[in-house]
Amino acid sequence: DTGVSQDPRHKITKRGQNVTFRCDPISEHNRLYWYRQTLGQGPEFLTYFQNEAQLEKSRLLSDRFSAERPKGSFSTLEIQRTEQGDSAMYLCASSLNLNYEQYFGPGTRLTVT
Amino acid sequence: AQKITQTQPGMFVQEKEAVTLDCTYDTSDQSYGLFWYKQPSSGEMIFLIYQGSYDEQNATEGRYSLNFQKARKSANLVISASQLGDSAMYFCATSNEGGTSYGKLTFGQGTILTVHP
């Protein structure tokens, strides 16, 4: 078991471009979470999936953000028309349905110039 | 709505001594969980310890223990016998354990712990 992986680890993009991040959870975990963390703050919840169903989205998630988990395995988070305020660390976590611990990936650091 | 307050931006401790990191929470949920995570400079969030709101005994995991005082809504982390590798940011978090928000974590702002040799 290699843990939660995220790709890319770093992304620099120009304002207005679209970006897509990928998260591969621990293989038997059916819950997958996305969080965003800005410098000096704790992570903030964005959205989560149980299997392929997206069960909740934060009000932080504007319509420029979309997330998918098409086969209940890996997930993608897309940001369209990026803005400088989108610069942050995007963290993915997974857990078993009835377990409490969420295991986090290393994160994708996004810089919008 | 849930809220976590960590009032200590930074803490210092001597190696091999114990340290307590403070956390208070506010929630309207009847059933909830309390968590502590460690985030080293590498950035990855590492799960340390969990306490359920209905657990009567304080949780312990090795050198970590959670001092849970439900009436005061506090969930302090105690690290015994500090090690240099404990230097990191520590986050307290809560989740509700019912309904469709099950498992969603709400984090505090964190406490930076520095362990001196």
Contact list, B103 vs chain A (CB under 8 Å) = 31, 33, 48, 95, 100, 102
Lowest model confidence (mean pLDDT) among A55-64, B3-12, B87-96: A55-64
Q: Residue B51: closest CA among chain A residues belongs to which residue?
A: A100
Q: What DSSP line would sit under chain B, residue for residue?
A: -EEEE---SEEEEETTS-EEE--EEEE--SSEEEEEEEE-TT---EEEEEEETT--SPPEETTEEEEEETTTTEEEEEE-S--GGG-EEEEEEEEE-SGGGTT--EE---EEEEEE-
Contact list, A101 vs chain B (CB under 8 Å) = 35, 47, 50
Q: Check CB contact under 8 Å for A45 and B47.
A: no
Residue A44, pLDDT above cutoff 90:
yes
Compute the average pLDDT of residues A8-34. 96
Tell me the per-residue pLDDT of B65-90, one tens digit each, with 9 for 90 and over: 999 999 999 999 999 999 999 999 99
Contact list, B43 vs chain A (CB under 8 Å) = 89, 106-107, 109
Share of chain A above pLDDT 70, in %: 96
Mean pLDDT of chain A: 93
Contact list, A56 vs chain B (CB under 8 Å) = 100-101, 104
Q: Check CB contact under 8 Å for B45 and A44.
A: no
Say what the pLDDT of residue B73 is.
95
Compute the average pLDDT of residues B25-35. 90
Share of chain A above pLDDT 90, in %: 81
Q: How open is the CA angle A38-B59-B17, to the nearest 5 degrees?
A: 75
Say what the pLDDT of residue B4 is.
97
Say what the pLDDT of residue A17 is.
98
Query: How far is the C-alpha of B50 from the C-alpha of A100, rounded, in Å?
Result: 8
Across the interface, of B4, B45, B108, the residue whose CB is closest to A104 is B45
Query: How far is the C-alpha of B105 from the C-alpha of A75, rounded, in Å?
Result: 19
Residue B99, pLDDT above cutoff 70:
no
Residue B32, pLDDT above cutoff 80:
yes
A41 touches chain B (CB under 8 A): yes
Say what the pLDDT of residue A2 is.
76
Lowest model confidence (mean pLDDT) among A55-59, B11-15, B85-89: A55-59
Compute the average pLDDT of residues A64-69. 96
Across the interface, of A41, A55, A103, the residue whose CB is closest to B47 is A103
Whether the Cβ atoms of residue A74 and residue A92 lie closer than 8 Å to each other: no
Given pLDDT bands bounded at 50, 70 and 90, which one contains residue B60? very high
